[in-house]
Structure 1
Amino acid sequence: MGLRPLGDKVVVKPSEEEEKTPGGILLPDTAKKKPQEGKVVAVGNGRILENGEIKPMSVKVGDTVLYAKYGGTEVTIDGQDYVLLDEDQVFAIIEG
């Protein structure tokens, strides 16, 4: 991937959207929910504090995370969709 985030930015590959309802009805693109879960594919170096120190990132490449539903910037690189988020738009790491 040719995308390297700066500072406290995180690049997430969103999970696939639901194609069917639990009852088996196929959903058109306009009815699909916007994903809020994805896998971290790149992280920046961390936030630069006022004293010049760099605060390390809380997430790392490979983490599965929950993020703000309408947060971040959507980008497409080589036909693949990604979301570029500030670290504080990542709410949780899914463990297990």
Structure 2
Amino acid sequence: MSANGNEPGIQPPGARVLLKPIEQDDRTSSGIYLPDTAKEKPQLGVVIAVGDADDIKVQVNDRVFFAKYSGTEIIYKGDTFLLMDVGDLLTRVTN
């Protein structure tokens, strides 16, 4: 099951998901610029594609939190994605 409009052409196998990490802003709420070295590693992402396992409880376009250093970074056609086991997902964001 892949995303329809933003499909990257990658289909994760089994109980894995493909995520597009949501990067934090370059500036703080008070307007201070954050260099790349000061930014936190993203922990929020959008599900782009899901594997074919029966027990996957997330769907394409769900926003999810995931374990900080989990997944394998994949750069495909200039975009960065994370491929990870479903067990590394912490929770789905409902709003």
Fold in common (TM above 0.5) = yes
| Identity over aligned pairs, percent | 42
RMSD: 0.9
Please say if 1:21 is aligned against 2:28.
Answer: yes
Please say if 1:2 is aligned against 2:9.
Answer: yes
Aligned to 1:84: 83
Report the 3-state secondary structure (helix = DSSP H, G, I; strand = E; otherwise coil) of the residue aligned with 2:64. strand
Structure 1: which 4+ aligned runs deviate by more than 2 Å? none
Report the 3-state secondary structure (helix = DSSP H, G, I; strand = E; otherwise coil) of the residue aligned with 2:17. strand
What is the deviation of 1:76?
Answer: 0.6
- TM-score for both structures, normalised by structure 1: 0.87
Report the 3-state secondary structure (helix = DSSP H, G, I; strand = E; otherwise coil) of the residue aligned with 2:46. strand
Report the 3-state secondary structure (helix = DSSP H, G, I; strand = E; otherwise coil) of the residue aligned with 2:28. coil
Residues 18 and 33, structure 1, Cα contact 8 Å, conserved in 2:
no
Distance in 2 separating the partners of 1:39 and 1:67: 10
Q: For residues 1-96 of structure 1, what are the structure 2 equivalents within 5 Å?
A: 1-46=8-53, 55-96=54-95
- 1:22-76 CA deviation, whole Å, 9 max, x = no partner? 2211011111111100100000011xxxxxxxx3311111100000110010111
Report the 3-state secondary structure (helix = DSSP H, G, I; strand = E; otherwise coil) of the residue aligned with 1:11. strand
What is the deviation of 1:16?
Answer: 2.2
Unpaired runs of 5+ residues, structure 1, are 47-54
Residues 64 and 94, structure 1, Cα contact 8 Å, conserved in 2:
yes
